[in-house]
Structure 1
Amino acid sequence: MIARIFAKYQSIGLITSSLLVGAIITFIALPFLTRLYSVQDFGEYGIALAVVSVLSTIANLRLDQALLVAEEQDKKSLIFEGTMFSTAIVAVSAIILSFIFNAAVVVAICSGVLANTLIQTIYNYKFAAHAEYFCAGLNILRSLIVVLVQLGLPLLMSISLVNSYSVSSVLMLLFILIYIVKNQLYQVSWQAFKHYQDFIYSNTPHALLNSFSHNLPYYVVSHFVGVQAMGFYAIVERTLRVPINLMSQTIRQFFIRKFKHLENSQEALKSSVLLSLLSLPLFAVFFVLPESLYLWVFGKDWVGISTYFQILALGYWAIFCNPPSSAFLIAQRSSHVLFRLQIIELLIKFVLFFGLYLLVEDKIYMLLAVPVALIFYNFAILFSVWSSKK
């Protein structure tokens, strides 16, 4: 029985372990990073990452997700087509962004978007082929490059966090391009994507709305609270997003591949509820940790950061029920359901931000809109999958 369980979950266990290693690397680095870079640095970095996150979701028109369910003969063509779409969208974005941000931020955003989309494309291509060891190694390598560059460059020169992010993105981009060319993981074609247009027309708008909704608090904090508060939010969000990224970028891929030919939603429901319950104690910890512990970890300049942790942890636990249920809908080519729910979630967030702005004196509590909207959205997805069972 143990051997059967091990065989069943070996794939997800290996990937989860690699992301855990990456998370440990990131957590170990954070106390040093908060002392090497200023709060202002983290604020600027947070704004850049918010834009990177939004653009990364649409740069290749979600053809990376299509790789998880694509026919074998289409996969290399999708890699080529997705790369071309990414390059074109980034080029257009660079022109627009140059009117909003300085050159350093524009370079960071564009290099970050290209690196993210290409890495995720190759990750999904190898994951669909059950190359879990490669995917695990890629997860660890990605974390190592980011951390080593961000820790090492300030020892050699005066550099901002945004510029160090550009360097790490360019390095990852070079590594992945060399791997693609060396292994000929592309096929010049403009036909394959036509068979996966539902990912473009349904999954892309949903992903774009999801990313915009997730990053909306960055714009709210920077406008209504200030850039320094943005630094607080950025470091907290970066810390809590580690387990979230584990779920959304990796475990969801596992379930999409698993549910590709599964019509019964029962297993998706069970997995969603289980993950949600398991996540509760992990996030409850942030409500009992003393402020002194946060100051010991991040430094004396981060007074009040515990409030940010508690507000975000209130709703982030709900995301853990998302991967199996949303993966089931994606695998069944029903991304339009996610799109509709995302619109409602975004409207709820807007209404709550506006209402809290009028009602609360301390504007940081406007962020309470985030956990409320997250709880609604993720359990609405679960309810949609449960309804499809009937």
Structure 2
Amino acid sequence: MIAKLFARYQSIGLITLSLLVGAIITFIALPVLTRLYSVADFGAYGIALAIVSVLSTVANLRLDQALLVAEEQDKKSLIFEGTVFSTAIAVMGGIVISFILNVEMAFAVATGVLANTLIQSLYNYQFSAHKEYFCAGLNIFRSAIVVAVQLSLPLVMQISLVNSYNLSSIIMIVAVLIYLMKHQLYQVSWQAFKHYKDFIYSNTPHALLNSFSHNLPYYVVSHFVGVQAMGFYAIVERTLRVPINLISQTLRQFFIRKFKDADSSQNALKASVLLSLVSLPLFALVFVLPESLYLWAFGSEWVGISAYFQILALGYWAIFCNPPSSAYLIAKRNSQVLFKLQIVELLIKFALFAGFYVAFADQVYMLLAVPVALIFYNFAILYVVWRNKN
């Protein structure tokens, strides 16, 4: 029985373990980083990550996700075509941001977007070929590079967190391009993407809305609460949401591959319910940890950060529960449902932000809109899959 379970879930277990290693690397580094960089630095870094997150989801028009279900002869072409799209959007995004914000932020966003999309394309190509050990190594490599650069550079020069992120992105871009060229994992073409237009026209709008919705709190916090609050929110993002998003993304990739030929959504429903039950106690820990523990970890400058963790934890739990159900819809080329639900979720979030702005004197509690909207969205996906079960 144990051997059977190990064989069945070895793939996802290995990938999840690598993400946990990456998260541990980040957790160990955070107490040092919060002392090397200021709260304002983390606020600017958080804005950069929010913009990168939004643009990364659409830069290659979801051709990275198409790699998970693509015909073998199309995969190398999709890598090339996705890279061309990513480069164009990264450059255009950087130019726009240089006028709106500043040149440093523009470079960080452009390189961050290109690094993310290149890594994701390589990851999905190898994952579709069941090369889980490579994917696990890539996850650890990404976390280690970012942390190593951010820890080492302040020791030898005066540098902002945004600029150190820019340098780590450049290192990853160079490393991935060398690997792709050395192993010839690309094919110059301009035809393959035409066979996967549903990913462009359905998955891309959904991904854009999803990412914008997840990062909307950055803009709300920066406008209504202030720079210090952005730094607090960025720490919670890096501690909770970033590893959760990576793990949920990995789970989704696993289940897309698993449900590609499935006739029933029964297994997707079971997996979603199991994830929700197993993970809830872990997120509940956030509500019992004292403020003193956070101050010990991050430093005395971060007074009040426990409230941010408590407000956002339940919403992140909901994100973690949906990968099997959303993967089933994507595998069945039915992601337009996700797009429609995302529109409703975003409208709910806007309404709640406005309502909480009026209701609470402390504008930090506007962030309560995040978990409420996320719980609605993620469990609405579960309901849709349950309603359409065979």
Q: Shorter-chain TM-score: what band? A: over 0.9
The percentage of counterpart residues that share the same residue type is 78
Whether the 8 Å CA contact 1:263–1:332 is kept in 2: the answer is: no
- Matched ranges for 1:1-16 at <5 A: 1-16=1-16
Residue 35 of structure 1 and its aligned partner are, at CA, apart by 0.3
CA distance in 2: counterparts of 1:269 and 1:34, whole angstroms: 40
Q: For residue 245 of structure 1, report the CA deviation from its aligned partner.
A: 2.1
Instruction: Give the conservation status (yes or no) of the 8 Å contact 2:286–2:313.
Output: yes
1:163-202 equivalence runs, <5 A? 163-202=163-202
Structure-1 separation of matches of 2:116 and 2:256: 20
Q: Where in structure 2 are the equivalents of 1:83-122 lying within 5 Å?
A: 83-122=83-122
Match of 1:308 in 2: 308
Cα distance in 1 for residues equivalent to 2:278 and 2:243: 12
User: Counterparts of 1:335 and 1:153 in 2: how far apart (Å)?
Assistant: 42
Matched ranges for 1:1-390 at <5 A: 1-389=1-389
Distance 2:216 2:2 in 1: 45
* Structure 2: gaps of 5 or more residues: none
What is the DSSP-based 3-state SS (H/G/I as helix, E as strand, rest coil) of the residue aligned with 2:95? helix
What's the CA shift string for 1:202-255, capped at 9, x where partnerless? 000000000000000000000000011100011011111144123332111000
SS of the residue aligned with 2:322? Answer: helix
Aligned to 1:68, the other structure's residue is in SS state coil
SS of the equivalent of 1:389 reads coil
* Other structure's SS at 1:98 match: helix
- Determine the C-alpha separation between the residues in 1 that align with 2:26 and 2:93: 29
2:223 maps to amino acid: H
**Residues 19 and 247, structure 2, Cα contact 8 Å, conserved in 1:** no
* Root mean square deviation of aligned Cα: 0.7
Code of the aligned partner of 1:8: R
* Distance (Å, rounded) in 2 between the aligned partners of 1:131 and 1:174: 22
Q: Deviations over 1:102-152 (max 9, x none)?
A: 111100000000000000000000000000000000000111000000000
Report the Cα distance in structure 2 between the residues aligned to 1:200 and 1:384, rounded to whole angstroms.
Answer: 22
Structure 2 CA distance, aligned partners of 1:319 and 1:55? Answer: 20
Contact 1:265/1:389 (<8 A) preserved = yes
Shift of 1:314: 2.4
Between the aligned partners of 1:56 and 1:319, the Cα distance in structure 2 is 18
Question: Which runs of 5 or more structure 1 residues have no equivalent in the other structure?
Answer: none
| 3-state SS of paired residue (2:60) | coil
Bigger mean CA deviation after superposition, 74-83 or 238-247: 238-247
| TM-score of the pair, normalised by structure 1 | 0.99
Question: Aligned partners of 1:2, 1:285: CA distance in 2, in Å?
Answer: 29
Give me the whole-angstrom Cα distance separating, in 2, the residues matched to 1:140 and 1:92: 30
Q: CA deviation at 1:194?
A: 0.6
